[in-house]
Structure 1
Amino acid sequence: MTIDEACVSCIINQSVKVANAIHADDLLSKRLTSTVEEMSKSFSYNDAPPEIASYVYEEMARIAHKTDLYDEVKELSTKKALSFVPFLKEKLFTSQNKLLTATKIAVAGNVIDLAAEVEFDLDEELEKIFHTEFAHDDFALFEQKLCRAKSVLIIGDNVGEHIFDYLFIETLRESYPNSAFLYMVRGNPIINDVTIKEAKEAGFDKICELVDSGVNTPGFTYNRANAYSKELFDSADLVISKGMGNYECMSPSHRKNICFLLKVKCSVVAASLQKEVGDIICKMA
């Protein structure tokens, strides 16, 4: 996906969120917003939104003299997500269809997104996710692909959401013990996306192969990935893509057998999927 006019105002609005996250004073807040507004005049409409975001966030980090703009928020998101783990484990334990329940859990976690046009409440989403149907429902096909896959690459999205992904991968391993599972994360801090740091703290390296993609975009941009990540992406029998940023970067993709799991949180992605903001998606491509 390439950027739309609506993406420009969304990216500019993100400067306000950053200012709030780093407790910026009025002077710094104004500088962040004015800088992004000026940058927006030269955005390339050939780029995907996550590619544009990489330039913008790099510049905001430089201005703020802060490598990880959302470090405090990410820590809070992780703590909140962890508080739901006992409840979610009970849901899995009592479920008649553990794979579907785990997949819904993984999608519910996708609401933790600081770059979204529309924000959703995690507590509310977890209350209703198990009774919500996929607006695009390729779950049966996804299950068929999983049954045949020897290697499955899960591309993570946001911090906090990664705790839900951990439960998802645990269930995948239990359901498909002969398959190899890999979890790919961003190459450096960008928005509130998961990196090696947060993934290791959550223990992903103990349940699957943990991979640093090398990308500096809030989405898996293939041409920015390191050689090993490209090789894994190309060779995995099945890729599970979490979230809108990854969807934006991989629509279209040169490979097939990608399952997009996400909650629709902006009008541009909604239009691309021909769905509504708020819908949950399980789409095979």
Structure 2
Amino acid sequence: MKISYECGPCFLRQAKEAMDLSTDDENLKMEIMEDIFNYLSDVFKTGTNSNGTGSKMHRMIIERTGCEDPYFKEKIEGNEIALKYLPDVKRILNEDDSLENYVKIAIIGNILDFGAFTLDDDIESVIKQSLEKELTIKHIEEFEQSLKTHNEVLYLVDNTGEIVFDKLLLNKIKEYGLNITIAVKSVPILNDATKKDAIDAGLDEFGEIVEIGCGTVGYVDSEISDEFREIFNSHEFIISKGMGNYEGLSEIDLSSKEVYFLLCAKCYTISRHIGVDLHDMLLFKQ
């Protein structure tokens, strides 16, 4: 997906957060911010790729500060929030174990995104309110048909914390007899899940965990490894979690695949692109 004018302040907010999490050196942060301003002044134009721009910016911060995982503590916090609400989630599923409810819970997990929310946001309240919401777009019948007709699925995960809720949907998918391949980032970026994060959360119980070959904001087709491209190309059925993966996949030809996006529209640029309201929860087929 391409940047909008609203991406500018979002990039700068993320840069400030990442720097504050990476170093206490005020002089270094000033130097890095100057570099980021110079970088954005060169690339921030109509038609620029949003994921590639954000990825480059975060790499600049990592390289200059030497902090390889700025959101390490925030990822732990995300897991703790998810685990705190897991009993409520399981209670809901015990009352209604429909596929739609499993999908809804997985999408609610997508709210745990420190790339879209500030560190001061009351994320717990957002989750509680979201548990009462319905999906705005729900291609649930098509989704279940895909589960019934395919033998394998590629599941692109998004954030640490969110993956705690993904486990519930993955377990439901296993009931349909599919072989699941779970794709994660190769190196840390924001609070995105890496292989270690996925294994720590127990996702390896449900399928093979593979790395995409890079650490990018969302999916960036030009940066995935040859090994992952082979995996991606071999799958006709793909489940994509989160806005970043949607932003990247919406730029490539998916006509030969059945791709389902599960996300919460957490910014105006995304919501306008899809045609929904801010904070709507969505399951839709590409």
TM-score with structure 2 length normalisation? 0.91
Is 1:229 the counterpart of 2:204? The answer is no
Give the aligned partner of residue 244 of structure 1: 243
Deviation (angstroms), 1:216: 2.3
User: Which secondary structure state, in structure 2, belongs to the residue aligned with residue 181 of structure 1?
Assistant: strand
Over aligned residue pairs, what C-alpha RMSD do you find? 2.0
User: Which secondary structure state, in structure 1, belongs to the residue aligned with residue 62 of structure 2?
Assistant: helix
Deviation (angstroms), 1:233: 1.6
User: Which secondary structure state, in structure 1, belongs to the residue aligned with residue 125 of structure 2?
Assistant: helix
Rounded to whole Å, the distance in 2 between the matches of 1:152 and 1:158 is: 19
Is 1:102 the counterpart of 2:102? The answer is yes
Specify the code of the residue in structure 2 equivalent to 1:30. Answer: M
Deviation (angstroms), 1:130: 4.2
Rounded to whole Å, the distance in 2 between the matches of 1:74 and 1:279 is: 24
Provide Cα deviations, 1:32-51, integer angstroms capped at 9, x if missing partner: 33322221111264442111
Deviation (angstroms), 1:163: 1.0
Give the aligned partner of residue 136 of structure 2: 135
Contact 1:186 1:217 in 2 (8 A): yes
Is 1:8 the counterpart of 2:1? The answer is no
Contact 1:105 1:129 in 2 (8 A): no
Question: Cα gap change, 1:117/1:80 in structure 2, threshold over 3 Å: closer, same or farther?
Answer: closer
Unaligned runs of 5+ in 2: none
Give the aligned partner of residue 195 of structure 2: 196
Question: Cα gap change, 1:96/1:188 in structure 2, threshold over 3 Å: closer, same or farther?
Answer: closer
Specify the code of the residue in structure 2 equivalent to 1:145. Answer: S
Provide Cα deviations, 1:190-241, integer angstroms capped at 9, x if missing partner: 1111111101111222221101011321212222112232122222231111
Aligned length: 282
Provide Cα deviations, 1:71-108, integer angstroms capped at 9, x if missing partner: 111122112212222222222222141x1111111101
Contact 1:150 1:237 in 2 (8 A): no
Rounded to whole Å, the distance in 2 between the matches of 1:127 and 1:75 is: 19
Give the aligned partner of residue 113 of structure 1: 113
Rounded to whole Å, the distance in 1 between the matches of 2:281 and 2:251 is: 19
Specify the code of the residue in structure 2 equivalent to 1:100. Answer: E
> Residues 1-285 of structure 1 correspond to what in structure 2 (within 5 A)?
1-22=1-22, 24-43=24-43, 45=45, 46-97=47-98, 99-116=99-116, 121-174=122-175, 176=176, 178-255=177-254, 256-285=257-286
Rounded to whole Å, the distance in 1 between the matches of 2:79 and 2:22 is: 18
Paired-residue identity, %: 27
Specify the code of the residue in structure 2 equivalent to 1:31. Answer: E
Question: Which stretch of structure 1 is more off in the superposition, 111-120 or 202-211?
Answer: 111-120
Contact 1:154 1:181 in 2 (8 A): yes
Contact 1:10 1:117 in 2 (8 A): no
Deviation (angstroms), 1:27: 2.9
User: Which secondary structure state, in structure 1, belongs to the residue aligned with residue 43 of structure 2?
Assistant: coil
Rounded to whole Å, the distance in 2 between the matches of 1:100 and 1:130 is: 13
Rounded to whole Å, the distance in 2 between the matches of 1:20 and 1:52 is: 20
Question: Which stretch of structure 1 is more off in the superposition, 112-121 or 194-203?
Answer: 112-121
Question: Cα gap change, 1:205/1:117 in structure 2, threshold over 3 Å: closer, same or farther?
Answer: closer
Question: Cα gap change, 1:253/1:139 in structure 2, threshold over 3 Å: closer, same or farther?
Answer: farther
Contact 1:186 1:218 in 2 (8 A): no
Specify the code of the residue in structure 2 equivalent to 1:134. Answer: L
Deviation (angstroms), 1:118: 7.3
TM-score with structure 1 length normalisation? 0.91
Specify the code of the residue in structure 1 equivalent to 2:153. Answer: V
Contact 2:81 2:124 in 1 (8 A): no
Unaligned runs of 5+ in 1: none
Provide Cα deviations, 1:121-178, integer angstroms capped at 9, x if missing partner: 443343343432222222222122122121111101111111111121012113x1x2
Question: Which stretch of structure 1 is more off in the superposition, 147-156 or 19-28?
Answer: 19-28
Rounded to whole Å, the distance in 2 between the matches of 1:117 and 1:91 is: 26
Provide Cα deviations, 1:16-73, integer angstroms capped at 9, x if missing partner: 2113333634334433333222211112644421111111111101121111111111
Contact 2:93 2:102 in 1 (8 A): yes
Contact 1:188 1:216 in 2 (8 A): yes
